[in-house]
Every structure is written in C-alpha cells, then in structure tokens.
C-alpha cells in the first residue's frame, strides 16, 4: 500500500479563486480493477432499464460512460454505488461486492448523483462539516483547512451564511462535489459532473479530475457532453437501451466500427440507435398538402 501523501496543485485558470488546493491522496489499494459491473440487470416490470451490463474500470483511470437519454447510465451508476439493488448481477468496488459488504465498499467510494444529495437547510460549510462527521473524520485544523480550500476552489467561500436551498443548480453541483472530496475517496462515480456548470467551473472540474486520476483516484463518469469524454477519458463504454454496444479507447472503437477518422460524436451516433433526425425534421417542416 502507498502511504498517504499531501500534494499541492495550482490550477492556473482558477488560481485567484482556488489558490493552492492541498489534497490528501488516498492510500491506493493494490488492485488493478477499481470498479467492475458484472452482468448487471435492472428490471422495472416489463422494462429492462439495464440488461446485462459488464465492464471494468482500472485503478487511476478516468472512464467515460456514454449513452443517450434513457439508455441506462444513471440506473447502472446507482447499482454500482449500492443505492439501487440489481435484479441480478454484481457490482464490485475495488474487489468488494457493494451489496455483500456495503460499508467497506462505500468507505472507498464517492458518488455524485445527477441530482446531488445536498441538505437545503445547511450552509455549504455546515454541509461539508456534516459529511465529514458522518464519515468520522477527526475534527481539527487539517479538516478545517481542507474545508476552506474546497469552498474557495469551488468559489463558494464568499457565500457564507447562505443556505444550500438558495443555491443555483451549478452551485449545488459544486457543493456536492466538494462533499465527496472532503473525505478523499479512492473511487469517484460521477453522474454528469459538469452538468449545469459554467465554462470556468466545468474547466475546474475537468482539471481537478485529471489531477486526482494522476494521483491514483479512479473516476467513472457519465456524460452527454462528448467533448468532456474525449478530453478526459482514456476509455469509454457506450450504453444503448440497456446494453453495452462498445467499450474501449477511441482507436479500439474506430477499429470496431471500421471508421479510421471518426470523432467520438460520429462513433457515438453510429453505436447508438436513434431516429434519423434530418429525415424527421424534413417531415415535420414539410409543406402541408
Ligand atoms: P438520462 O441521460 O436522460 O439521465 P439515463 O441513461 O441515465 O438517462 P436511466 O435514468 O438510467 O437513463 O433510465 C433508463 C431507463 O429506465 C429509462 O427508460 C427510464 O424510463 C427507466 N427507469 C428508470 N428509473 C425507473 C423507475 N424507477 N421506474 C420505471 N422505469 C425507470
């Protein structure tokens, strides 16, 4: 096991707001696969929202989980983090079955839902304190300093006294992310982490995830924003109507589809079925007979 170490990084673009963020890097466990979905199925009556999804995310990797609206991304992530019981299949976090040893697996995990679970009646600082207490982080100067650094990093430091209930969507997203980072999980499952963020905040999150991954944190993120996936992720899985249609690097996806120069958007469109929008628009706008 690697010992915990303190590293400092400065995000040039956000230097004034963020200053230096000292991150306690979690001691990395000695496993090469950090997240594993094994034949996950979730049925709602006759609807199979997720239908036999399997993939592996390696430790220290940023892995993208892509799919159209309703494809099954959130359902899969909620099963992987232990929120939603699968109809069948197994979800492993660093080799631990999250439904067999939930506390052990969840101690390693930080999960950001597409609607972050944040407490509307607390201020940002109180919420971070609440989460730190929940996870029994010792009180003291180190924890207090980390709280301040996170609030500054996400430009929430000057909203003291304001309840989260009054936050904008983007601010709730940021305090949700800060509440994961306060306790340094070694695996992050993020459902649309840049959703609703302004370009500056989205850039901050991207830089932060890259830095965390470079220091051994595993990141599994779902996104609709293909530029985010293309910029951040070494490998992606594409899910379409509950099934994984492709997993791999850009090169592997291009080889699989036989398209050498394809962008991620081209590959996505090719690997997910959808109505031919051009034809539908023409039909919609066709002159009435
Ligand atoms: P989006 O990108 O729009 O958030 P998604 O890929 O995250 O979509 P899911 O939210 O996982 O998709 O939904 C997958 C499918 O499961 C959809 O058809 C959805 O209607 C269905 N579904 C999700 N939750 C339930 C539920 N509680 N009851 C019934 N059907 C559900």
Q: Model confidence over 143-173: pLDDT tens digits?
A: 999 999 999 999 998 877 899 999 998 999 9
Query: What does the pLDDT read at residue 163?
Result: 94
Distance CA 128, CA 218 (A): 22
280 domain residue, yes or no:
no
Judge whether 286 lies within some domain: no
Q: For the whole model, what pTM was predicted? A: 0.84
Q: Which atom of ligand 1 is nearest to the CA of 78?
A: 11
- Does residue 281 sit within a domain? no
Q: Give the torsion sign (CA, 213, 181, 192, 108).
A: positive
Question: Looking at the domain assignment, is residue 185 inside a domain?
Answer: yes
Asked whether residue 285 is domain-assigned, the answer is: no
What per-residue confidence (pLDDT) applies to 188? 97
Residue 282 lies in a domain: no
Measured by CA distance, the residue closest to atom 21 of ligand 1 is: 49
Q: How confident is the model at residue 28 (pLDDT cuts 50, 70, 90)?
A: very low
37, 42, 74: residue to mutate for ligand 1 pocket, most atoms within 8 A of CB: 74
CATH for 269: 3.40.50.300
Residue 72 near ligand 1, beta carbon < 6 Å: yes
Q: Report how far residue 164's alpha carbon sits from residue 271's, in angstroms, rounded to the nearest whole number.
A: 39
Query: What is the tens place of the pLDDT at every residue in 184-242?
Result: 899 999 999 988 888 889 999 999 999 999 999 999 999 888 888 888 999 999 999 99
User: Is 220 part of any domain?
Assistant: yes
Answer whether 67 contacts ligand 1 (Cβ < 6 A). yes
How crowded is the C-beta side of 11, counted as CA atoms within 13 Å? Answer: 26
Question: Of all residues in the chain, what percent are helix, strand and coil, respectively (each to 5)?
Answer: 40, 25, 35
Residue 289 inside a domain? The answer is: no
Domain count, the chain: 1
CA of 44 to the centre of ligand 1 (A): 10
Domain that holds residue 78: 4-274
- Across the range 251-270, mean pLDDT stands at 83
Distance CA 189, CA 111 (A): 5
Nearest to 17 by CA among 155, 145, 151: 155
């Amino acid at each position: 096991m690697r010992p915990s170490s303190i590293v400092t990084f400065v995000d040039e673009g956000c230097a004034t707001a963020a200053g230096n963020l000292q991150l306690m890097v979690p001691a990395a466990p000695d496993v090469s696969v950090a997240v594993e979905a094994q034949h996950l199925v979730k049925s709602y009556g006759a609807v199979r929202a997720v239908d036999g999804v399997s993939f592996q995310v390696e430790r220290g990797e940023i892995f993208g989980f892509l799919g159209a609206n309703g494809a099954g991304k959130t359902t899969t992530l909620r099963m992987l983090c232990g929120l939603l019981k699968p109809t069948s299949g197994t979800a492993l976090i660093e080799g631990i079955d999250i439904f067999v040893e939930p506390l052990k697996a969840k101690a390693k995990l930080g999960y950001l839902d597409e609607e972050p679970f944040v407490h509307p009646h607390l201020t940002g600082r109180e919420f971070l304190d609440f989460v730190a207490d929940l996870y029994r982080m010792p009180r003291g100067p180190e924890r207090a300093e980390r709280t301040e650094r996170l609030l500054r990093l996400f430009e929430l430091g000057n909203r003291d006294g304001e309840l989260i209930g009054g936050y904008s969507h983007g601010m709730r997203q940021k305090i949700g992310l800060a509440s994961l980072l306060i306790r340094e999980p070694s695996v992050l499952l993020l459902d649309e982490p840049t959703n609703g963020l302004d370009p500056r905040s989205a850039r901050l999150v991207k830089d932060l995830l890259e830095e965390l991954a470079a220091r051994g944190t595993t990141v599994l993120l779902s996104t609709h924003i293909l530029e985010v996936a293309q910029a951040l992720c070494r490998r992606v899985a594409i899910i379409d109507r509950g099934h994984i249609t492709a997993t791999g690097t850009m090169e592997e996806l291009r080889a699989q589809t036989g398209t050498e120069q394809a962008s991620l958007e081209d590959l996505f469109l090719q690997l997910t079925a959808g109505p031919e929008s051009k034809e539908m628009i023409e039909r919609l706008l066709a002159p009435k007979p």
